[in-house]
C-alpha cells in the first residue's frame, strides 16, 4: 500500500480572507508590549489613545493622573455604581490591553492599579504643556504660493484615486508609486495573477473599495506601518507623526525644520498617497490634507469609494439604476465609479454623464473568479442605488430590496454554479496487496470520520489531511500483526 498527498487548489477558488479594518484600539492591542512602551514616549499618541478610550476608562485615567502611588483596585471599583459593572469591566479591560495601567502591589498584599509611567508623563505634557514641544511648528514666513482648502481637497482626492484606479484595473494609473503597489499586495488587497503576473483585485480588495475614504486610508497605513522596518523607519515614530498630522489645522502650512532624515522620507511617502501637499521636496514646508486629518480615527464620514470626496466631503447620493432586463445605468462622470462598475458588468455605452452596461453571466463570473462574492456585488449596487430605485414597487408591492428580485436571484445563482464542487485537501491510499487489507483500513477511516472517498474495485481511498496521521499509525500496527 502507498499513500500520496493530493492538494486540491486552483486560482482564487479558495476563499480569500475577510477584510479586517481595525480601529486604533484593536491595532495597538495587536502590537507587542515593547512597541507600546516605545509609543507612549510620544505625547501625541498618549492623547490619541486617551481620546479613544471608553468614557469610564478616561475617568479612571484622569483620577489616577496625579497620584504617585498605586491605588487599591477595590477603591477604583468603588468609584462606579454596581449598576454599571459591565461598563466598568470593559473599561478596565481596555486599560489593561493597551498597557495604560498596570497592576502594582500595595503594602499589605492588596492589589492596586497605577498608570504606566511613560503614558502618565507624556499625557500630562499633551494636556498641560511643558517639556519639549510635541505639536508641529507653524512659525514660518507667509507662503507666497499658499494653497487653500479647495486645492488641498482636490489634490488629496487625485492622489488617493490613483491608488483606487490601480486596484480596479483602470487605464488611469499614472502616478502610483511602486511602494503603494507593494503595500496593496502585502495587505492582500491585490494579488499576482498566476498566468501573466499582473496585479488583480481580491475579495478583500473589493471590500476595501466599499469602505469610506477615511477607513481606506487608515487601513492602508496600518499595512504601511507593518512594513516600516524594511524601509529602516520606526513604526512608532511614523505613527506618532500621523497623529501629529491629525491634530493639525486644514489649510495651514507647517515647517519641516528639525525633522529627521527618516521622517523626511516618510513625509515623501505621505505626499505620494495624498496625505500632505508639498510643492517641492526641499520647500521646507508642507500642508496636511483632509485625508491626514480624518484618517487617524478611521471613523470619518467620508465619501464611499468613487463618491468624489476626500475623506471629509459628503458622500454622493445614489447614481445606479438596475432594470429587470439586467441593464445597468450609472449617472456619473467619475472614471473611478465607471471602473468599479466594470468589475462585474459589461459596459456598453458611455456618454458625458451616463454609463450603460449589462449584468451578464460572463461578467459576473469574471468578478467571482477574482474573489468578489455575489453578496458584495449586490451590496455595492444597493449601496449606490438611485433614489428612484428605493421608491419603486412591483405590482403594487413595496420591494424589500432596491434591486429587482430577478436580478438579485440571478446574481446569486451565477455564484451557486461555481460552488457545486468542494475542494478538499487529502491523502490517497492505493496499491493494497489484498482486498482484505483495503477493507480493514477503509472501515477504520470511516469509523474515525476521516474517509473522503473510496473505490472498492480499484482499492483506492482518500482520507482528510487531518486524519492522515491516525490512519497511517493504524496501518503500521495492523501490518505488524497481520
3-state secondary structure of 216: helix
3-state secondary structure of 308: coil
| Contact predicate 411/367, CB 8 Å | no
Query: Any idea which of 265-279, 290-304, 435-449 has the lowest mean pLDDT?
Result: 290-304
Calculated CA dihedral for residues 476, 477, 478, 479, nearest 10 degrees: 50
Work out the end-to-end distance of the chain between its first and last CA atoms, rounded to an integer number of angstroms. 14
Q: Give 14's pLDDT tier (boundaries 50, 70, 90).
A: very low
- Residue 269 predicted with pLDDT over 60: yes
352-371 pLDDT, tens digit each? 999 999 999 999 998 888 77
Where is pLDDT greater, at 437 or 132? 437
193-205 pLDDT, tens digit each? 777 778 888 888 8
Q: What is the mean pLDDT of residues 13-30?
A: 72
- Would you list the domain boundaries of the chain? 43-128, 149-295, 320-418, 424-481
Which pLDDT belongs to residue 316? 58
Which pLDDT belongs to residue 289? 94
- Residue 348 predicted with pLDDT over 50: yes
Which pLDDT belongs to residue 80? 92
Where is pLDDT greater, at 16 or 75? 75
- For residue 157, give the nearest of 217, 225, 243 by alpha carbon: 217
Which pLDDT belongs to residue 15? 44
The CATH architecture assigned to 43-128 reads: Orthogonal Bundle (1.10)
- Residue 40 predicted with pLDDT over 60: yes
| Contact predicate 73/112, CB 8 Å | yes
Q: How far apart are CA 444 and CA 471, in angstroms?
A: 8
Residue reference for cell 486524519 = 467
Q: From 3.40.190.10, 3.30.70.2610, 3.40.50.2300, 3.40.50.300, which CATH number describes the 424-481 domain?
A: 3.30.70.2610
| Contact predicate 299/214, CB 8 Å | yes
Average pLDDT, the chain: 84
Rounded to a whole number, what is the largest CA-CA distance in the chain? 94
Within 8 A by CB and 6+ apart from 301, the residues are 212, 214, 312, 314, 315
Where is pLDDT greater, at 119 or 388? 119
Which pLDDT belongs to residue 122? 93
Q: How far apart are CA 277 and CA 283, in angstroms?
A: 11
Q: Give 6's pLDDT tier (boundaries 50, 70, 90).
A: very low
- For residue 151, give the nearest of 26, 287, 267 by alpha carbon: 287
Q: Give 133's pLDDT tier (boundaries 50, 70, 90).
A: low
Amino acid at each position: 500500500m502507498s499513500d500520496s498527498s493530493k492538494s486540491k487548489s486552483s486560482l482564487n477558488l479558495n476563499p480569500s480572507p475577510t477584510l479586517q479594518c481595525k480601529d486604533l484600539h484593536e491595532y495597538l492591542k495587536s502590537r507587542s508590549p515593547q512597541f507600546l512602551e516605545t509609543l507612549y514616549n510620544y505625547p501625541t499618541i498618549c492623547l490619541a489613545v486617551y481620546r479613544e478610550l471608553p468614557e469610564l476608562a478616561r475617568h479612571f485615567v484622569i483620577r489616577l493622573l496625579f497620584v504617585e502611588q498605586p491605588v487599591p483596585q477595590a477603591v477604583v471599583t468603588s468609584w462606579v455604581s454596581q449598576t454599571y459593572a459591565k461598563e466598568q469591566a470593559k473599561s478596565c479591560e481596555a486599560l489593561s490591553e493597551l498597557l495604560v495601567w498596570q497592576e502594582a502591589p500595595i503594602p499589605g498584599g492588596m492589589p492596586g492599579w497605577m498608570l504606566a509611567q511613560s503614558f502618565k508623563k507624556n499625557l500630562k505634557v499633551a494636556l498641560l504643556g511643558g517639556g519639549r514641544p510635541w505639536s508641529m511648528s507653524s512659525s514660518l514666513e507667509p507662503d507666497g504660493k499658499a494653497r487653500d482648502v479647495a486645492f488641498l481637497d482636490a489634490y488629496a482626492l487625485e492622489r488617493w484615486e490613483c491608488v483606487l484606479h490601480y486596484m480596479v484595473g483602470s487605464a488611469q494609473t499614472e502616478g502610483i508609486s511602486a511602494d503603494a503597489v507593494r503595500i496593496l499586495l502585502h495587505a492582500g488587497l491585490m494579488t499576482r495573477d498566476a498566468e501573466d503576473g499582473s496585479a488583480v483585485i481580491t475579495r478583500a480588495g473589493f471590500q476595501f473599495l466599499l469602505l469610506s475614504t477615511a477607513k481606506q486610508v487608515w487601513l492602508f497605513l496600518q499595512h504601511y506601518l507593518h512594513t516600516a522596518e524594511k524601509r529602516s523607519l520606526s513604526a512608532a515614530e511614523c505613527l506618532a507623526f500621523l497623529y501629529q498630522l491629525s491634530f493639525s489645522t486644514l489649510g495651514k502650512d507647517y515647517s519641516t525644520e528639525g525633522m529627521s532624515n527618516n521622517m523626511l522620507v516618510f513625509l515623501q511617502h505621505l505626499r505620494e498617497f495624498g496625505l500632505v501637499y508639498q510643492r517641492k521636496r526641499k520647500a521646507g514646508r508642507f500642508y496636511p490634507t483632509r485625508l491626514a486629518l480624518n484618517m487617524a480615527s478611521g471613523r470619518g464620514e467620508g465619501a464611499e469609494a468613487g463618491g468624489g470626496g476626500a475623506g471629509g466631503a459628503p458622500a454622493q447620493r445614489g447614481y445606479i439604476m438596475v432594470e429587470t432586463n439586467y441593464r445597468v445605468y450609472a449617472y456619473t462622470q467619475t472614471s473611478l465609479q465607471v471602473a468599479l462598475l466594470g468589475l462585474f458588468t459589461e459596459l456598453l455605452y458611455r456618454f458625458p454623464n451616463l454609463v450603460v452596461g449589462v449584468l451578464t453571466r460572463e461578467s459576473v463570473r469574471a468578478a467571482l473568479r477574482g474573489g468578489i462574492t455575489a453578496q458584495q456585488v449586490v451590496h455595492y449596487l444597493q449601496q449606490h442605488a438611485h433614489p428612484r430605485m428605493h421608491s419603486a414597487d412591483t405590482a403594487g408591492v413595496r420591494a424589500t430590496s432596491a434591486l429587482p428580485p430577478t436580478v438579485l436571484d440571478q446574481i446569486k445563482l451565477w455564484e451557486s454554479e461555481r460552488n457545486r464542487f468542494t475542494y478538499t485537501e487529502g491523502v490517497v491510499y492505493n496499491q493494497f496487496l489484498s482486498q482484505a487489507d483495503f477493507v480493514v483500513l477503509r472501515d477504520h477511516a470511516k469509523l474515525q470520520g476521516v474517509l473522503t472517498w473510496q473505490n472498492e474495485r480499484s482499492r483506492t481511498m482518500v482520507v482528510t489531511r487531518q486524519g492522515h496521521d491516525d490512519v497511517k499509525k493504524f496501518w503500521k500496527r495492523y501490518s505488524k500483526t497481520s
